[in-house]
Structure 1
Amino acid sequence: MPSNVLLKAAAILGGTSIGLCSYGSHSIKNIQGITERQIESWSTASKYQQFGALSLLCLYSISKTSAIKPKRISLSATLIFSGTLMFSGSIYLLVLNKDRFKFLGPVTPIGGLAMMAGWFALLF
């Protein structure tokens, strides 16, 4: 992932996470039939989306000042970005309509594993 794309990805994740977190805090409870567990799941998704944004921002900074190989940073960023989209995105959709998006259930842990792999990619 080129550094200009990395910065844009961080900005997109960060900006949308604020809006989605706000929606989760103020509006989601007004959806008929929403449970406390679903509200907590939404909160978890927005929190991990913010972590993903901050992670990408850190990788952007590291890419400008570090001896870590650019390919390693790019792989890490790609895994963290795609993992965040899968993890948080699947939770958001499952909270909004579990029946319609139940096929996304297995995507959530895959996204989590991709985020973990993104961090471990910096080691090799």
Structure 2
Amino acid sequence: MACLGVALGAFGAHGLKGKLSPEMLEIYQTGVQYHLVHALGLILVGVLVHVMPSNLLNWAGWILALGILLFSGSLYVLSMTGITKLGAITPIGGVAFLTGWILVVLAALR
């Protein structure tokens, strides 16, 4: 996920510059930013699952990955197609991010 986030960030910075409006490029970059932050979260979850195995951590990893797909993915597609209805999917990805992090905290508290 981290590698994909870097690749998509580079694509946005170099391949989409001048092809998207500044507003759409900003939306794309927001997707990249959240993608990369949560890719680091997935790495953290992977390390934690080896230190303190937990089904909560397993779920957290899957839900964070789903969040990347829904949140960042919807922003990528929205910015390149202009289909603003895709913005309705973005908050679902945000809720997935929040849920994933809550599961990490719950696993740590156990």
Q: TM-score, normalised by structure 1?
A: 0.79
Distance in 2 between residues matched to 1:25 and 1:92, nearest whole Å: 13
Distance in 1 between residues matched to 2:79 and 2:30, nearest whole Å: 11
C-alpha distance after superposition, 1:35-55 (max 9, x if no partner): 211111111111111111110
Counterparts of 1:11-50 in structure 2, within 5 Å, are 13-31=1-19, 34-50=20-36
Give the 4+ runs in structure 1 shifted more than 3 A.
none
| Percent identity over paired residues | 27
Distance in 2 between residues matched to 1:39 and 1:64, nearest whole Å: 38
For structure 2, list consecutive stretches of 5 or more residues without a partner in the other structure.
Answer: none
Aligned length: 106
**C-alpha RMSD of matched pairs (Å):** 1.4
For structure 1, list consecutive stretches of 5 or more residues without a partner in the other structure.
Answer: 1-12
C-alpha distance after superposition, 1:56-110 (max 9, x if no partner): 10011011112xx5211011111111011100000000011023xx442211011
Distance in 2 between residues matched to 1:77 and 1:19, nearest whole Å: 21
Q: Secondary structure of 2:17's partner?
A: helix
